[in-house]
Amino acid sequence: MDYIRHIGSPLGPLTLASDGESLTGLWFDGQKHYGMTLAEEREEKDLRVFRETEAWLRLYFSGEAPDFTPPLLLRGTDFRRRIWQLLLAVPYGETVSYGELARRAAGDVPAAFRCARAVGGAVGRNPISILVPCHRVLAADGSLCGYAGGAERKRALLRLEGIEIP
């Protein structure tokens, strides 16, 4: 059983998901891969992790770098979880390329997954938007490319962090 909560944000409605203890999902309503890790059986519930996530999001959307992270449970394949862990290491206000993420993962994953395209697939299926900062991943030339929540949201999230993309 999963629990969900719908909240608003400056960039549109969000759906939060939890197993009851940890945050397992955060999606912009209608984004690509929306709810991909949600159990079929779910109910709306007020949970501590949702309140912590909302506090984190309030700080973030006010332009501050939150100094805490709610408990997260990343559901996915070993490869995807490895890439999502690498995303968590990308600091607020900084970016990384898909190729650089592939290089960082190189020692830990089979050769077939060491390319930027495979990394891009994992980044795009990140189930916890914003907190697991997939919006900080750019093309090799520094341009925007791909974001399940839409390019304008990606640009807005980067702008919040002081990153301007031409």
Q: What is the pLDDT of residues 113-125, one digit of tens each?
A: 457 778 888 999 9
Does residue 109 carry a pLDDT above 70? Answer: no
Q: What is the pLDDT of residues 73-97, one digit of tens each?
A: 999 999 899 999 999 999 999 999 9
Among 2-6, 15-19, 60-64, 146-150, the range scoring the smallest mean pLDDT is 146-150
Predicted pLDDT at 60:
98
Neighbours of 104 (CB within 10 A): 16
Domains for the chain: give ranges and CATH numbers: 2-61 (3.30.160.70), 78-160 (1.10.10.10)
Predicted pLDDT at 36:
86
Active site residue 115: no
Predicted pLDDT at 87:
97
Predicted pLDDT at 117:
79
User: How big is the CA angle at 113 (ends 110 and 114), to the nearest 5 degrees?
Assistant: 90
Backbone angles phi, psi at 153, to 5 degrees: -70, -40
The length of the chain is: 166
Q: Output the six-digit token pair for 124.
A: 């795009």
Query: Of 160, 150, 139, 26, which Cα lies nearest the Cα of 92?
Result: 160
- Span 87-116, mean pLDDT? 80
Pairwise CA distance, residues 97 & 70, whole Å: 26
Predicted pLDDT at 111:
55
Predicted pLDDT at 158:
97
Residue tagged active-site, from 134, 148, 158, 160 = 134
- Span 95-122, mean pLDDT? 77
- Span 28-56, mean pLDDT? 93
Q: Output the six-digit token pair for 110.
A: 């089979």
